[in-house]
Amino acid sequence: MKLLEEKILAEGHALDENILKVDSFINHKVDPQLMKEIGKEFAEHFKNQGITKVITIESSGIAPALTTAIEMNIPLVILKKQPSQVLNQDLYHTEVASFTKGTSYELTLSMHQIDENDHVLIIDDFLANGEAATGALRLIRKAHATIAGIGVLIEKAFQPGRSKLEEQMIPVYSLARISKLGKDLIEFVSEHQE
C-alpha cells in the first residue's frame, strides 16, 4: 500500500535492524485517515470470504482492526493481553512471547465472543517472528472457529513470521513489506521480489 509506505518513510524511525518506531501514526498517536484507508484496503482484499468477525490483539491493532470491521460491517473482537479481575471466567488462554519487549504475556479470549460458526480475519500492526499471530491462531482454534487470513500493516519480511503462518496454510496479506532495516534505513520489498 503506497500510502502506508510513504507514511513509514516520512514519519517512521528505524532504530536498528529490528526496531521500527511508528508511534507518530500507528501505535501511540493514530492517523485516523490512514486507518480509514487501511480498513478499506483490508475489507476489499478479504471481501466475499464469509468473514463473520475481525479479531485483533490489544492494543496497537485496535485502530486498523476497527476500521476494517466498520468497512466489512461485522463485529470486532479484541484479544486481551491479561485476564480482567472481573471478566476472568470462561476464557481461552495461551502464552505469547513478545520479541519487542523481550517478555511473555498471557493472551485471552472470552468463550462468549466466538464459536465454531465464526470465520475470522485477524488484523495486526506488525508481523516479525509470528509469535503474536500464532498465539491468536491458537485461541481461535480452541474455539473451533476458522481463519480466513491475517492482515498485517507492516511485515518485517526478513524475519520468519510469514513462513510460520504459511506453513499452517494461513493466507497473509501485508500492506507494507520491509526487506531491510538499519539505523535510519528502511527498505521495502520490491514488487518483483514478492
Total number of domains constituting the chain? 1
- 183: its cell numbers: 539505523
pLDDT for residue 84: 62
pLDDT digits (tens, 9 = 90+) for 27-37: 899 999 999 99
Annotated binding site for 5-phospho-alpha-D-ribose 1-diphosphate: 128-132
**What residue numbers bound the domain in which 27 lies?**
2-78+115-193
Whole-number percent of the chain with pLDDT over 70: 93
69 within a domain of the structure (yes/no): yes
Q: List beta partners, residue 104.
A: 97
Annotated binding site: 20, 27, 128-132, 156
95 within a domain of the structure (yes/no): no
19 within a domain of the structure (yes/no): yes
102 within a domain of the structure (yes/no): no
CA angle at 129 for the pair 123 and 132, rounded to the nearest 5°: 40
Contacts of 4 (CB under 8 A, 6+ apart): 34, 38, 153, 154, 175, 176
Residue 63 backbone dihedrals phi, psi, to 5 degrees:
-60, -50
44 within a domain of the structure (yes/no): yes
Annotated binding site for xanthine: 20, 27, 156
146 in Cβ contact with 120 (< 8 Å): yes
pLDDT digits (tens, 9 = 90+) for 140-164: 999 999 999 999 999 999 999 999 9
pLDDT digits (tens, 9 = 90+) for 98-109: 766 678 888 999
126 within a domain of the structure (yes/no): yes
pLDDT digits (tens, 9 = 90+) for 35-47: 999 999 999 999 9
Spell out the alpha helix ranges (H) of 59-170: 62-72, 131-142, 161-167
CA distances from 70 to 39, 64, 112 (A): 8, 10, 21
On the 0-12 / 13-18 / 19+ scale of CB atoms within 10 A, 173 is middle
Average confidence score pLDDT of the chain: 93
92 within a domain of the structure (yes/no): no
175 within a domain of the structure (yes/no): yes
Residue 15 reports pLDDT greater than 60: yes
CATH code of 32's domain: 3.40.50.2020
3-state secondary structure at position 149 = strand
Residue 185 reports pLDDT greater than 70: yes
pLDDT digits (tens, 9 = 90+) for 57-94: 998 899 999 999 999 999 999 999 876 666 667 889 99
Question: What is the spatial distance between Cα 7 and Cα 27, in angstroms, rounded to a whole number?
Answer: 13
